[in-house]
Structure formats: C-alpha cells, structure tokens
Amino acid sequence: MTKYVYEHPDEAGVGQHHADDDLAGRDAQPPEVAASLRAALEVINPTDEQREQLEDFLGRSMHDLDLHHGTEVELEDEPDENGNKVATWTDKHGDPRRTSFDPEFWDANFTEVTS
Amino acid sequence: MATISAGQIMTYGEQQALNQIFLKTQGPAAGTVYLHLLTNATSGSVDNTWTLVSSGTVYGATGYSPQAFAVNAASAASPSVISNSGTITFGPFTTGTGATINWGGLGSTSTPGTASFIVAYLLTASRTPANGDSLQAAAAAFTCQV
C-alpha cells in the first residue's frame, strides 16, 4: 500500500472539515453509554487505575477521534463497493483505524509520501 | 425465519464451529475478521440464516469502513466467551449521515457482498452519527459465547 499524508489548507481534521460545529465540544460517548460502562466496571471492584483508564476513554471528544492534519495514512489498493478510497491509519490514541474517503476530497487533501 | 435480538452466532458461524470441533472439515486459516455496521431495526429484522453481511442494510455514510476485529483467545470457562481485544473506532463520518446504527455484523471479509455473516451484535445503544463524528467501542464491548 502507498503512503499519503493528509494536509488541509486550514489544518482542519477530516471530520472537522465536514462538521457544522467544533468537534471538541462533542463527547465521543453519549451519556447513556458512559453510564453503562461505569456501572459495568464497578461490578468487578476495579482498581483506581482501571477507573482512571475508563474516565480517560470516556473523556474523549469527537475532535480526539478525528483524522488530524499531518496524519499519514496507507491507501488500500482497491476502492470500496461505493467507489470511495479506503485508507488505514493510527489515531492519536494508538488505535488502528480504517476510513473511506470521497475521491474528490482525497485528491484535494492527500499527498503521496515519497521518501 | 428466526430473528435475533442480541449478540448471536449466525447459522454460518454455528456450522463452521461444529464442523471444526467434530473434525468434519478443515477450518479457514487464521486471519482477520471485520466488524460492519447495519441499520436494520432492533427487532424482527435480522435473520440468523443470512449468509452474507450484505443481506443486512449496511451503513452508508462516507467515512465509514468496516474495522478489523481483533480478539483475545476464547475464555477457559463455561460458557466460553470471546470478545474484541482492543478499542474499535469507525469514521470519521463525513457525508451521508443520518441513519441510525443498531447492529454490528461480524464478517469474514471487509466487503459486505463477500463477507460470510459470522455473528450479529445488537448495540446496547443505537447511534445516529452526525457529519464529523466517529463511533468508538471499548475493548470487550462485543462479546460472543457458545
């Protein structure tokens, strides 16, 4: 797979570019999911470290999960069934991601990395 | 036509499991399975006899792609349980949002039309992402047991 780098003219993330408001103000988890996860954790009599790990997870915003300006991705050889480009990348938390992109948006904002 | 309401191994998955443990057939080589997102209604809508993920209504927003579903080994307990070993995050979704996601569908490939439907997971909370959103699930959020 070929490597590309995402570069937005205003340094906006992929999600932020398409959003109507600031992603930093959107919680990544809805309140009911957060409550459910906290309750499930308490059942196992967690350590303080486990509680901290959960709160760190629940404290993430949609901005935290976005594909940020400057991120390197690897383009898959074939588009998906909708004709969209598909690339894999690693987010700021170290989690593997796989995202599809409109071909026009891809051509405008992704540059092949030539090392 | 049997419908399902919670994380359940589909008929394809049940057959694969039984055929392998009874040494009837050689199972597929170890590899990657993928979690797809479906917008089918929460009840009376997902049939356990479906053989392909594409039999369901696959979420269609741009930005969405099925995610690799890494697992821990099945637990040494009865019933044995298997779950996702790491965080799974879809998106960011960019356009074409608005549909409500109710199901996760575990498939043998990343392409719905060729992915054998292994397990169906009913989401604890339905999600309707907006443009810019990602959809994240914690490790062990998706469990399956025999």
Give A39-59 pLDDT, tens digit per residue: 888 888 889 998 998 999 999
CA distance B94 to B131: 5
Residue type, B144: C
Mean residue pLDDT of chain B comes to 91
Which residue blocks in chain B are alpha helix, DSSP H? 11-21
ipTM attached to this prediction: 0.93
Mutate which of A18, A61, A85, A91 to disrupt the B interface (most B C-beta within 10 Å)?
A: A18
Q: Does A14 touch chain B (CB under 8 A)?
A: yes
Structure tokens at A22: 């600031």
Q: Decide if pLDDT at B3 tops 80.
A: no
Taking phi over 0 as left and psi of -120 to 50 as alpha, with beta for the rest, B41 belongs to beta
Mutate which of B53, B71, B94, B101 to disrupt the A interface (most A C-beta within 10 Å)?
A: B94
User: Mean pLDDT over residues A61-88, rounded?
Assistant: 97
Split at pLDDT 50, 70, 90, the class of A36 is confident
Q: How far is CA B43 from the centre of its chain?
A: 16
CB contact under 8 A, B133 and A18: no
Ranges assigned E (strand) in chain A? 2-6, 72-75, 85-90, 96-101, 110-112
Residue type, B29: A
Give which of B106, B99, B115, B113 is closest to B61, Cα–Cα.
B99
Contact B141, B106 (CB under 8 A): no
User: Mean pLDDT over residues A1-14, rounded?
Assistant: 96
How close B21 gets to chain A, by Cα (Å)? 32
User: Mean pLDDT over residues B66-84, rounded?
Assistant: 92
pTM of the model: 0.93
Q: Residue A35: which residues within 8 A CB-CB, separation 6 or more?
A: none
Location of structure tokens 């909708």: A82
Structure tokens at B72: 């821990």
How close B12 gets to chain A, by Cα (Å)? 23
**Size of the A and B interface in Cβ pairs below 8 Å:** 101
Location of structure tokens 């025999």: B146
For B93-131, how does the pLDDT look when each residue is reduced to its tens digit (9 = 90+)?
999 999 999 999 999 999 999 999 999 999 988 999 999
Give which of A110, A81, A79 is closest to B114, Cα–Cα.
A81
Q: Does A96 touch chain B (CB under 8 A)?
A: yes
